[in-house]
Amino acid sequence: MLTIALPKGRLQTPALERFVKAGIVPDEEPGASRKLIIGASRGARFVILKDGDVPLYVERGAADLGVCGLDQVLESGADLMVPIDFGFGRCRLCLAAPAASKLNAELGRSLRVASKYPRLTAQWFARRGVPVDLVRLSGSVELAAVSGLTDAIVDLVESGRTLAENGLTVVDEILQVSARLVVNRAAYRLKVEELLPLLEALG
Amino acid sequence: MEPAVPLPGTQDLLFEAARSLRRCEQALAAVFEQAGYAEVIPPAIEGAEIFGVEAFRALDKSGKLVALRSDFTAQVARIAATRLAGVSPLRLWYRGSVVRRDREQIDERVQAGCEYVGAPGADADAEIIRLAAGSLRALGLNDARISLGSTGYFEALARAAGVSDRLAQALHGAIDRKDLPTLRALCEKEVAKGLARDALLILAQPPRPKEQAEDLLARARSVAPGDDALAALQRLTDVLVRCRDVEGLEVDLGEVRGLGYYTGVVFNLYAAGAPQPVGGGGRYDTLLGRFGDPRPAVGFSLNLDALVPLAC
């Protein structure tokens, strides 16, 4: 039996479509009730969770596989197999700042950066030898740079409209994000007979 | 005062949990001794230079950098290469805890394992794999999988492709995660066209049960870029022949994960109910040379924290 971690939010519908096409059909529409575990055909089941929690559930084996953005895979630091790039949920993780602001050495101190992605942000700046003062936020990250809490932000950019409407511009692109299939390392071996046909159908 | 509790990543074992661990250790000790291995008990702390950066380090009073044991194999290699220099072959086993700085926290786990020093051939590789399989059986785990690969093969391909260390690391990461999209992108953008590139591209293939491994190995041989790569593949074939009756053994050319000193075959052990490998091993033919006695060796270790809850 396979347990599949399905993310809430914008990735849910396209992810579910792929599984249905691959022959794994949920017994009911997620969201139709408050059930967190939904049975499906072929003895599989879906567990419904926040996309940021998908990597940990799969790494620790509470789910055998799941779907989440590459940003969440890398930010979690979870040790996972990532065999398929679904191609949907495309966006970019970007460094952004108020237009015309100076982020280089002229600043004369550590750069203050707000993000929901402290690990990826710290890694990216560390590789460039830039010291940063990292502020970890959980929402409305743009506000940090607009209000002067920080010099810049690192956040997902889809169309760029939110940035533009708040007077922010993209300074650099950190990561190209799309939805990935993540598979537990042991499940990949122990359930390989069930998994391989599914991977082929999904990929 | 706040109540005293163990650090995250460490634990107290009480009552039945302690008894279970002791039972497993005794069962394993019996298997190891029966196979002709002799116990060694290295110290819990020693000079930091023998361990990797994952070790928990501190300065002693004289300013010397010391570390808690993060790896038994390095200690056993030191013992074999110094006090037991030239005594071949050596079959040694150990049990005890290792401490590592994993991600953000300290992580302590109990291990048991074996090292076979002084034997360079496929017979020794097979002996260690069979002993690992027998150890899991002795713990009552009958449906385990042993995933066999070769870091030697990956390194031969990386050398043949002439890739930089940075690129080799990126390729290794993509192969280890079966990240075919990234592996393809890296190969197409940064690796010159040729046999080595074709060979790298098949490393993210899914594992094959040993009975069906021959076509995968044949495909790998047909694109092998040189003698080193062919020799590494031949070694896998030789080991498989000697392990024909080992249940749950499969070939995964993408099984490249192991400690930094592995030079040849590597394997990881998986058991139902454990979300991560429960053990692993491989050949390390250059490690003893660091201690002045260059001799080949191969070994494995088991993660008892993961295995004890599954064992009967």
Closest by Cβ to A186, choosing from B182, B252, B277: B277
* pLDDT higher than threshold 80 for residue B220: yes
Go through the domains of chain A in sequence order and give each one's CATH number.
3-89+178-202 (3.40.190.10), 91-176 (3.40.190.10)
Question: What pLDDT shows up at residue B178?
Answer: 95
B290/B236 same-domain check: no
d(CA B14, CA B296): 40
B149/B241 same-domain check: yes
B259/B288 same-domain check: no
The domain total for chain B is 2
B197/B258 same-domain check: yes
Q: What is the pLDDT along chain A (203 residues), one digit of tens a residue?
A: 999 999 999 999 999 999 999 999 999 998 888 899 999 999 999 999 999 999 999 999 999 999 999 999 999 999 999 999 999 999 999 999 998 787 776 777 889 999 999 999 999 999 999 999 999 999 999 999 999 999 999 999 999 999 999 999 999 999 999 999 999 999 999 999 999 999 999 98
B274 — contact with chain A (CB < 8 Å)? Answer: yes
How many pairs of residues across A and B have Cβ atoms under 8 Å apart? 53
d(CA A151, CA A130): 14
Neighbours of B143 (CB within 10 A): 12
Structural domain of residue B310, as residue ranges? 1-141+273-312
B12/B43 same-domain check: yes
B257/B286 same-domain check: no
3-state secondary structure of B219: helix
Taking only the tens place, the pLDDT of each residue in B175-215 is 999 999 999 999 999 999 999 999 999 999 899 999 999 99
B46/B180 same-domain check: no
Contacts of B306 (CB under 8 A, 6+ apart): B271, B274, B276, B278
Question: What pLDDT shows up at residue A177?
Answer: 97
Contacts of B310 (CB under 8 A, 6+ apart): B139, B141, B271, B272, B273, B274, B278
B215/B237 same-domain check: yes
Residues B112, B281: contact at Cβ < 8 Å? Answer: no
Residue with tokens 């990250």: A141
3-state secondary structure of B106: strand
Residues A131, A111: contact at Cβ < 8 Å? Answer: yes
For the record, the structure tokens of A88 come out as 């949907």
B137/B1 same-domain check: yes
CB contact under 8 A, A189 and B103: no
CB contact under 8 A, A192 and B272: no
Residue with tokens 């390392």: A185
CA distance B138 to chain A (A): 19
Residues A6, A15: contact at Cβ < 8 Å? Answer: yes
Taking only the tens place, the pLDDT of each residue in B245-292 is 999 999 999 999 877 899 999 999 999 999 999 999 999 999 999 999
B251/B205 same-domain check: yes
B189 — contact with chain A (CB < 8 Å)? Answer: no
Residue with tokens 């490393």: B203
CA distance A9 to chain B (A): 24
CA distance B90 to chain A (A): 32
B257/B299 same-domain check: no
For the record, the structure tokens of A53 come out as 């929690």
B185/B298 same-domain check: no
Comparing CA positions, the residue from B158, B17, B271 lying closest to residue A189 is B271
Which residue, among A189, A193, A199, A202, would best test binding to B if mutated, counting the most B CBs under 10 Å from its CB? A189
DSSP per position, A146-167:
HHTS-SEEEEEESSSHHHHHTT
B239 — contact with chain A (CB < 8 Å)? Answer: no
Helices (H), B104-193: 122-138, 151-161, 165-176, 180-190
Q: Residue B306: which CATH number? A: 3.30.930.10
A80 neighbourhood in chain B, CB within 8 Å: 177
Helix (H) or strand (E) run with residue B22 in it? helix B15-34
